[in-house]
Structure 1
């Protein structure tokens, strides 16, 4: 019998995982896996558990359940421990942006069936300073929305809670003056928002980087240039519909690495990685190709 561990955030997705633990154990036994459990105790505890308790020879499969922030904790633990163990993602959070990119279903039984019907593939990840991300690194307006949105709001309203918080953040709008070195090139520009994608979407907007791939060896850089306050909602409607990349206020670049310096008020601008608080400027961002093994539906 193979060994699996389920690392889960009990608060994610209105406690959906907690109500399905017995079902998951039963399904994993059918798949010939002995399942052990670790319940997240606080932010960062899943990463700590992986680093302190999991070795390459002790586990055959890591299952992680929660939102994008929980998945990010798992990825950081795996990377910092230098593990090469397959990961199965149970996307039971609010936005589940990476799972949407990877076409992981939302039905729990269908997710678990990927063990039999899917395949293990290596996917790219990104690093920024001393942290790792699997979906997106972003900075500027709205970058604090995910980790600053009230937990009770997310529980009651789901993705809508992010939009309410986003409207609140608009009141603090200020453009960033950025110097960006990437792949031997240099640009200097004022941006309202910058997103560096490995995946396709963020905050429930699933078409922001609609041509991105988690297996192509590139980031998709999307920079929203400085615009008047009143233009931002119009641009975000275009982003929701996937029609923004042709706009002259949007820079779209394929890249593998970037060093980003903020030339104005760098302390005042938030950064975010996979929905969690990111590091301060300057940012040193690198793509790591084919690094993490993930159970995914067959192409």
Structure 2
């Protein structure tokens, strides 16, 4: 494939209207420096990863993704496993677009986002890896097998993590998991309703690449009272209060000690994740993403 730009889009994502802006995208990005555009239409889960894994990316200078966090996750996994580092632009064409919002692309108008992507430079972004599966936004787990409907604000603020932890608010007697949570320096054992490992580096402006993610594990069935622990400016770690463990590290090892009573489900960037035990590591600045420096991000959006 000889192309300067690769566009991957999911025609069913969000309101399914991106296809009506496809020609406009090609017009904007091919005019500049007379670049060529190659378009891949993703029609089912897994085919974006398969395509990126198999295609020749020698002449590709940037990849743009119009879809949700799941599509971004597929592309990142393919690139990381091939050890290829091409700047990525995320077009908010999905349902909630939480990861695009963290990068500052908050406009509902595709034209605004096209212009911002064309004008901005990429920044390094940390990538997590859980048992060999990469993630850009979040890794979560709770004892529920089905996810309750969550509000738009919750999903935009906390990303795909909200699907798991907000669902617990509807069940008072959700069974807690007995977990052993370890970093390089600390070890905690206890019963928790959920845990979440989040890339909080993109939740403030300016965005940063620290090589560390934030883990929060809570005994509370209600997530509403725990949201401030994910604020990157919250300084405390360890057992902070009310049975909540908050850790910031580049390495987490998480074991479920009561798995014989039922394995906890996991969620990686909004899709089904690997089983516990988990080894989660963070690769600092492993990928580059275009950011909108004029856009707000993450936690700051909802203060």
Normalising by the residue count of structure 1, what TM-score does the alignment of the two structures yield? 0.80
Tell me: CA distance 1:285–1:186, structure 2 relative to 1, closer, same or farther (3 Å). same
Extract unaligned runs of 5+ from structure 2. Answer: 151-159, 235-239, 295-303
CA contact (8 A) 1:198 1:212 kept: no
Say if 1:181 and 1:212 are closer, same or farther in 2 by CA, change over 3 A.
farther
The aligned runs of 1:245-284 (5 Å cut-off) are 248-265=242-259, 267-284=262-279
Name the residue aligned to 1:204.
none
Deviation at 1:162, TM superposition (A): 5.7
Alignment correspondent of 1:70: 71
Matches within 5 A, 1:1-299: 3-31=4-32, 32-55=34-57, 57-106=58-107, 107-141=109-143, 145=147, 166=167, 170=171, 173-199=174-200, 215-225=209-219, 227=220, 232-233=221-222, 235-236=223-224, 239=227, 248-265=242-259, 267-298=262-293
Instruction: Work out the CA distance in 2 between the residues paired with 1:213 and 1:29.
Output: 29
TM-score (norm. length: structure 2)? 0.79
TM-superposed deviation, 1:293: 1.3
Deviation at 1:213, TM superposition (A): 5.6
| 1:154 corresponds to | none
Q: 1-side partners of 2:92 and 2:190: how far apart?
A: 36
Q: Report the secondary structure of 2:48's partner residue.
A: helix
CA offsets per residue over residues 93-125 of structure 1, 9 Å max, x none?
122222222212333222222344211111101
Q: Quote the Cα distance in structure 2 between the aligned partners of 1:101 and 1:144.
A: 26
> Which stretches in structure 1 are left out of the alignment for 5+ residues?
150-158, 202-208
Name the Cα RMSD after superposition. 3.3
Q: Confirm or deny: 8 A CA contact 1:175 1:191 kept in the other structure.
A: yes
> How far does the alpha carbon of each residue in 1:168-203 deviate from its partner, in whole angstroms, 9 at most, with x for none?
9737821111001102321112111101011479xx
* Structure 1 position 69, deviation (Å): 0.8
* Deviation per residue, 1:150-173 (Å, 9 max, x gap): xxxxxxxxx9x969x937973782
User: Kindly tell me: are residues 95 and 283 of structure 1, through their superposed partners in 2, closer, same or farther at Cα, counting changes over 3 Å?
Assistant: same
Q: Do 1:198 and 1:213's aligned partners in 2 also have CA atoms closer than 8 Å?
A: no
